[in-house]
RNA sequence: CGGGGCGUAGCUCAGCUUGGUUUAGAGCGCCUGGUUUGGGACCAGGAGGCCGGUGGUUCAAAUCCACUCGCCCCGACCA
């Protein structure tokens, strides 16, 4: 009888990827569904990951000259009407506030006090920030205006998925105003670069920087840029966006200033954002059939110590040893900070505790018992290796090696993710082959298939529409660093100068 | 909002086709006691469910019917 390796998560990725995703969230205690449809409760472990994302990104924003501010959750309905494309993009998914109090009727509470002008709950803040920018900007000396806000937004989506798409989500939205088009375009590119840097170097998630096609553009933007990552089911995840808004919003909101020649002109604006979706991306990039795997730079804990206790006489000594060990580990520096360590003093058997940390994705586990105490050593397991792959190290050696081990895990996750993306990225020049690539063998229960197809594409909206209808794939982006290459559009045969990324997406 | 699947204990599910010994079960988890101890252990005892909700058919409904709510998947929409 062949012994099957028992995985902590069922089903496995290969068996049922969407279900696996949900089970990892539950096993790692990241979040759970709330009584409100489409909204989730982010639990401490999940929120701690988001806090790390916030901390790092916030530092990057400040380092590039941005400052934080906060704008209201409610936006007057009339504000949304100001920019035509924007209206069209967001009107059908807005939560609307129409009343400002409740009254009791037959024991039931019903809305009362109707508002003269309804308020919408922000789906994004271009309009209200634009209204404020209009007041703040009068002279070219007031520019550039570089503002960011950390906030929640609401988009009444039809279908939700934990972290990837929820009705309410947390994000960061940067909004800037500039004196010239060039400056605004530079800002758009700069922030895309910040996102790419963060994704690769902190999330260990390789991304492709690119421009969106017309069909995928942000409502109201002149051009939209994104970072696109490949998940383990080979679907693309748009992980961050940066928009060049031209003068569309400054005209809509009347953001005008006197330039250095004394002329009254409209400002050029940008906006850019990433959301709690990143947590979902992090999960789907690295996690395995035993649960979450976290890159050290964003892990809430780097090291967890699980004491192995036998009898009372040993226990006291082991615990004492663990405590001093925890203190020493906490003094080690990694990534410019103290190593985050926890001693798991919960009651219960070692095995259960160890598996709980495996499922939560802590990079380094130490199992410390009487033997280790006696030998002044530790027994270490790494989350990037299998659960059984553990080894003993002298305490001093471990302490000295720890920063290198953490960085090795961080780098290893990135290269593993890169290898996965590369293995599933192909150049395709034949339409039939493209259709084969994106058609599952088993239509009933589609297996993991497809990936990124690099194709010549000059088909415009109709051809994109056809791709979407036939294969449910889209042009994810036109890569920025693509090498110019002569070719023919895979859909229309028209001449093309560069390849685009085609894929299924979240 | 369309198509499919599913709602029975905290979790995973059996029971439903062929209504009636089902005062509603199992495994895991939980609580208590004990035995264990380099590992998701074992034994004994225990707590926990008006079978998603409402209505109907019937002498009798977890089981049949209608409606409804919720969740998941696949679409349409989107970060």
Over residues A422-446, the pLDDT tens digits come to 999 999 999 999 999 998 887 767 7
| Nucleotides of strand B under 7 angstroms from a protein beta carbon | 1, 30, 37-41, 70-79
> Which residues, 6+ apart, have CB-to-CB distance to A341 below 8 Å?
A301, A302, A303, A304, A305, A326, A329, A330
**Each residue of A103-157: pLDDT tens digit?**
887 777 788 899 999 999 999 999 999 999 999 999 999 999 999 999 999 998 8
A17-27 helix and A277-286 helix, angle to the nearest 10 degrees: 110
| Whole-angstrom distance, CA of residue A215 vs CA of residue A342 | 48
Does A171 score more than 90 pLDDT? yes
**What is the architecture, at CATH level 2, of domain A425-503?**
2-Layer Sandwich (3.30)
Residues of chain A with CATH 3.30.110.30: 425-503
E strands, A155-301, in order:
168-178, 208-211, 223-230, 236-246, 256-258, 264-266, 268-275
Closest CA to A6 of A326, A291, A332, A302: A291
A135: enclosing H helix or E strand: helix A126-136
pLDDT (0 to 100) of residue A2 = 29
pLDDT, mean of residues A470-496? 92
**Residue A363 phi, psi dihedral angles, 5° rounding:** -60, -45
Sign of CA dihedral A18, A20, A26, A28: negative
Q: Is the CB of A22 under 7 A from strand B?
A: yes
> Which residues, 6+ apart, have CB-to-CB distance to A217 below 8 Å?
A223, A224
CATH number, domain A17-97+123-286, options 3.20.20.140, 3.30.930.10, 3.40.50.620, 3.90.550.10: 3.30.930.10
ipTM of the complex: 0.82
E strands, A44-95, in order:
67-68, 74-76
Q: Which nucleotide is nearest to A390 (CA to C1')?
A: B38
Residues of chain A with CATH 3.30.930.10: 17-97+123-286
Does A5 score more than 70 pLDDT? no
Sign of CA dihedral A73, A36, A47, A163: negative
Cis-peptide into A144, omega within 30 deg:
yes
Note the maximum CA span of chain A.
Answer: 85
Cis-peptide into A11, omega within 30 deg:
yes
In chain A, positions 181-240 with C-beta closer than 7 Å to nucleic chain B are: 216, 218-219, 226, 238
pLDDT (0 to 100) of residue A308 = 87
Q: β-pairing, A333-334 with A337-338? A: antiparallel
Please state, for a pLDDT cut of 70, what percent of chain A lies above it: 98
Q: Which nucleotide is nearest to A392 (CA to C1')?
A: B38
CATH class of the A300-409 domain in this structure: alpha beta
Q: Is the CB of A371 under 7 A from strand B?
A: yes
Does A172 score more than 50 pLDDT? yes
Question: For chain A, how many helices (H) and strands (E)?
Answer: 14, 27
Residues of chain A with CATH 3.40.50.800: 300-409
Does A4 score more than 70 pLDDT? no
């Amino acid at each position: 009888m062949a012994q099957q390796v028992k995985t902590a998560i069922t089903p496995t990725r290969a068996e049922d990827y969407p279900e696996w995703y949900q089970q990892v969230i539950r096993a790692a205690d990241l979040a759970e569904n709330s009584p409100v449809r489409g909204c989730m409760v982010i639990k401490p472990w999940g929120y701690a990951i988001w806090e790390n994302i916030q901390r790092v990104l916030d530092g990057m924003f400040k380092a590039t000259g941005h400052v934080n501010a906060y704008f209201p959750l409610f936006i007057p309905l009339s504000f949304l009407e100001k920019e035509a494309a924007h209206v069209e993009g967001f009107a059908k998914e807005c939560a609307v506030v129409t009343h400002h109090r409740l009254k009791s009727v037959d024991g039931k509470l019903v809305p009362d006090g109707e508002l003269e002008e309804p308020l919408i709950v922000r789906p994004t803040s271009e309009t209200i920030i634009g209204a404020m920018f209009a007041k703040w900007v009068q002279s070219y000396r007031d520019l550039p205006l570089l503002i960011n806000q950390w906030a929640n937004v609401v988009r009444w989506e039809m279908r939700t998925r934990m972290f990837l798409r929820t009705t309410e989500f947390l994000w960061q939205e940067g909004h800037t105003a500039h004196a010239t088009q060039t400056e605004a375009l530079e800002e758009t590119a700069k922030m895309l670069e910040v996102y790419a840097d963060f994704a690769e170097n902190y999330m260990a998630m390789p991304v492709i920087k690119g421009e969106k096609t017309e069909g995928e553009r942000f409502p109201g933007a002149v051009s939209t840029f994104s970072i696109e990552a490949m998940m383990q089911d080979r679907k693309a995840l748009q992980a961050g966006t940066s928009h060049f808004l031209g003068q569309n919003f400054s005209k809509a909101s009347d953001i005008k200033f006197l330039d250095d020649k004394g002329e009254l002109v409209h400002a050029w604006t940008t906006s850019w954002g990433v959301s709690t979706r990143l947590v979902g991306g992090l999960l789907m990039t690295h996690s395995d059939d035993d649960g979450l795997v976290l890159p050290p730079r964003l892990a809430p804990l780097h090291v967890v110590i699980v004491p192995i206790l036998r009898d009372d006489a040993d226990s006291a000594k082991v615990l004492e040893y663990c405590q001093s060990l925890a203190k020493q580990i906490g003094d080690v520096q990694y990534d410019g900070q103290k190593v985050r360590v926890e001693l798991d003093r919960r009651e219960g058997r070692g095995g259960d505790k160890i598996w709980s940390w495996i499922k939560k994705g802590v990079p380094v586990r130490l199992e410390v018992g009487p033997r280790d105490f006696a030998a002044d050593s530790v027994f270490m397991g790494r989350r990037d290796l299998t659960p059984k792959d553990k080894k003993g190290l002298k305490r001093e050696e471990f302490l000295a090696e720890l920063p290198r081990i953490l960085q090795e895990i961080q780098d290893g996750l990135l290269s593993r993710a890169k290898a996965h993306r590369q293995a599933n990225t192909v150049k395709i020049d034949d339409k039939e082959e493209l259709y084969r690539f994106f058609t599952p063998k088993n239509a009933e229960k589609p297996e993991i298939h497809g990936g990124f197809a690099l194709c010549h594409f000059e088909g415009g909206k109709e051809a994109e529409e056809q791709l979407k209808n036939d294969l449910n794939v889209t042009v994810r982006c036109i890569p920025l660093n693509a090498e110019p290459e002569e070719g023919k559009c895979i859909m229309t045969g028209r001449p093309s100068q560069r390849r685009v990324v085609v894929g299924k997406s979240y």
